[in-house]
Amino acid sequence: MIGKARGDPISITGLGAHVPERVLTNDELSTIVDTSDEWIMARTGIRERRIAAPEQALTDLALPAARAALAQAHVEAKDVDLLVCATVTPDMMFPTSSALLADELGAPDAAAYDLLAGCTGFMYALAQAYGMMAAGLAQRALVVGGDVLSRILDWTDRSTLILFGDGAGAVVLERVERPGFIGFELGADGGGGIHLSLPGSGSRRMEDAEGNGFVHMNGREVFKFATRVLVASAQAVLGHCGVSVDEVDVYVPHQANVRIMDHAAGKLGIPRERMIVNVDRYGNTSSGSIPLALADAQREGRLKKGDLVLMTGMGAGLTWGSGLMEWTL
């Protein structure tokens, strides 16, 4: 699906992020599995990642991020009427993490639901919240993206252990005077879903699944998928919105792997200095990836009012999604 923004302008007016205190370096990983800093850096560009403490769940990471976003937007939680939480690692299946967050924040009347679209979750959630507001069903939204992937990794599997980290980000969406969101493009290919899966995590018979409870990934196939859709989705939304790649000021791809990101930027023709990269410090945080990157870019002064921002995610499903906006903060 693809579409251009219509009606009153809607944009991000507040942004927040939070990561756990514990830093897990490549050198420390080499004491757990057969790997090294050189091996990991050459293949992924990741130096370290954050790992949640045993007592921390998703909402423990998401709450500080949400509060920071609300504070930056000068919005009280009671005035939020929609809360969407994108995650594949909720505190529990129900009650939803979104409902728990709404209660903790003090948004008792907000519609709240969790959204599951793998690492593309934040982009799906942004598009859904925008659509709800554009249709007049919501006036002010809080979109949260985050995961505690360390809980669903096999800590003896080098192929997945080196890639992922924990973290969360959040944004407030409101009506604005400037253009804000310009367009979105979303898609999914369930036929490739087996290449990135969590067997035994749902109603499919657990005894029929190998390695229950742990992420399974066909790295070669996921890499091929990622390098293709990051480019195709970005090109689709740019083309549909009548925007050239030269007009993009800030490119925020899903922080999965530096090789994938560099490939996408090169194919699109976006100079690397316009691309936000923080995967070296956080690893792949799934639904937290893009909001964490946005928060870093804002803190570093790389996001300025009026900048044209292109965001593209891809992940389990297999899913993908892009959003184009004029930055209004």
The helix/strand/coil state of 316 is: coil
Beta bridge partners of 278: none
Name the token pair of 180. Answer: 């804000």
How remote is the C-alpha of 8 from its chain's centroid? 25
Query: What's the CA gap between 295 and 25, in Å, rounded?
Result: 22
284 is catalytic: yes
119 is catalytic: yes
Among 69, 145, 52, 146, smallest CA distance to 105 is for 69
Among 26, 257, 278, 284, which one carries the catalytic annotation? 284
Compute, in degrees rounded to 10, the torsion defined by CA atoms 112, 116, 117, 120: 50
Among 85, 79, 77, 82, smallest CA distance to 59 is for 85
Among 119, 241, 263, 278, which one carries the catalytic annotation? 119
Query: What's the CA gap between 65 and 18, in Å, rounded?
Result: 5
Query: What's the CA gap between 266 and 57, in Å, rounded?
Result: 37
Query: 75, 107 in Cβ contact below 8 A?
Result: no
212 is catalytic: no
Among 18, 85, 195, 254, which one carries the catalytic annotation? 254
Query: 48, 25 in Cβ contact below 8 A?
Result: yes
Q: Which sign, positive or negative, has the C-alpha torsion 228, 234, 238, 243?
A: negative
Residue with tokens 């993490």: 97
Nearest-5° Cα angle at 258, 316 to 300: 105
Pinpoint the alpha helices (H) of 242-303: 258-268, 279-282, 289-299
Active site residues: 119, 254, 284
